[in-house]
Every structure is written in C-alpha cells, then in structure tokens.
Amino acid sequence: MTKRVMSALLIVIVFIPFLIIGGVSFQILMSAIAVLSLYELLHIKEQKEKLPLVINLFAYILVLYFTFGNTSAVDFQYSLDYKVMSGIIFLFLAPLVFINNQDKYNISDALYVIASVLFIGLSYNLLIITRNYDLKYIIYLFLITTMTDTFALFTGMLVGNHKLSSISPKKTVEGLIGGTLMGTFVAVSFYHTVINPNMSLVFIIMITVGLSLIGQIGDLVFSSIKRYYEKKDFSDLIPGHGGILDRFDSMIFVVLAFVILLGII
C-alpha cells in the first residue's frame, strides 16, 4: 500500500503542472501516454502471439497521428479524412496477403490493431481537446475517476463482502457504492462551486453519478482484456498500480461519455 500511495503522489506531482500549463506541453505528455497505452495493449496480446515489427511500427505512427491531430479544436468535432481511413485499412489488412501465415498475422490480429489504434488515439485526443475547451472540465473529470477509484478501493478493503463481477474478483458491490458516492460528492462540489453554481444540483448529481458508473464500467472492460490474456496488470510501469491503462482505463470511458453529454451540462 505504501508503494501505491507514493507512486500516486509522484504521478500527481508530475501530471498536474502539465495539466495546468496545457498547450503543447500537455499534448506531448498525452501523446507519450498514448504511445505507452498502445504498447500495453499490443504487448499484452503478444504474450500469446508476436505481431510483425512493421505492423507495430505502423500502429505507433498512427496513434501519434490521431492523438496529435485536431489538437487546436475546442468544439469536439474530429474531422477524419477518408484517405486516412483507407490507408489504415490498407496498412493493416494488406499484410495478410504478403505474410500469408495465420500463426504470425491473421485477420483477428489486424482488427485488434486497428481497433486499438483508433480507440487509444481518439480517446487521448479527446483528453487534449477537453483541456483546450476548459481546464475546469478536465479537472472535474479527473476528480470523478480518481475519487471513485480511490474510495472504491478503500471501501472494498474495509467493508467489501459481495463480489461485483467475476471479471475482476477483487471488486465489490460495497466498493462500487462507496466509490460512486464519494466520487460524486467531491466532483459535484467542485462543479457546483467552480464551474456552474447556477445549474440544478440534482441534475449535476445525476450526470456525475452516471459518469462515475461509466468509469467503473470502463475499468471492468479493461479488466476483461487482462483476464482474457491471463494478466493481472497491463504492465509494471507504475509500482503498486500496474500500467498506464490500469490508471487511465476509467478516464478513457468517462471522457468518451462526457463528450456525448457536453451539450446538456
């Protein structure tokens, strides 16, 4: 637990200055995190089957393209050229013919890589655009995920008796409730005090509860990936926490949901 707390403090100390400064520095940080996230998704798959080097190379180049693309926007409209999509399809599907070895590279591998590139690249791009849109909103989202995760952990450790899902055996119903309550309380307090004190408190509570639950669903989605590949963590990059995706899994789903809800909050 001490290692986990110290790592969390270090993450906060490093991350917050980039978040506050924003701009190019935050974009570079998010791009680095996106590359590490893609590495974890590809690496966990390669525990069962190695991907060709050229496929990995294309994947990293494209995830940087998507993460850095459209970063000056503040309206959450991502313009994706059909030429780019055609290029992606060609880059990852055409090698099936040339490699012609199902054990080295097959259609399942190609679709996994395509989905990983789009999912990671666009999600971290949304984090950049959210920061461009308003610093207060991204702080609100991080408060939801960090407070929910933290109090779900402590509540589960203290009073957790009912298993939440077989996907992640350590998660409990009590943890979900405790995390949702505290994540909602802290984030709503921030939103109502700093962002918009005129908005209906009941309404923002409902939105925040929904985002907290979506974040926990995201956690379980990534847990199902780890379970499929029989891994406890995506990597051991962060002592006591696991990998980048073990920390950003909830945030990725929350920012995706936030974009959908942005027009009404």
Q: Is the pLDDT of residue 150 over 80?
A: yes
Residues counted in the chain = 265
Higher pLDDT, 21 or 238: 21
CB-based contact 215:145 (threshold 8 Å): yes
- Token pair for residue 22? 């924003």
pLDDT value, residue 191: 96
Q: Is the pLDDT of residue 211 over 70?
A: yes
Cα–Cα distance between 215 and 180 in angstroms, integer? Answer: 10
Cα–Cα distance between 233 and 226 in angstroms, integer? Answer: 7
Give alpha helix (H) positions in the chain: 2-21, 23-45, 53-68, 82-93, 95-99, 107-133, 135-159, 173-190, 201-228, 244-261
Higher pLDDT, 103 or 120: 120
pLDDT-derived band at 54, boundaries 50, 70, 90:
very high
Q: What is the average per-residue pLDDT within 175-184?
A: 94
pLDDT value, residue 79: 62
Q: Is the pLDDT of residue 60 over 90?
A: yes
> Residue 240: phi, psi to the nearest 5?
85, -10
pLDDT-derived band at 74, boundaries 50, 70, 90:
low
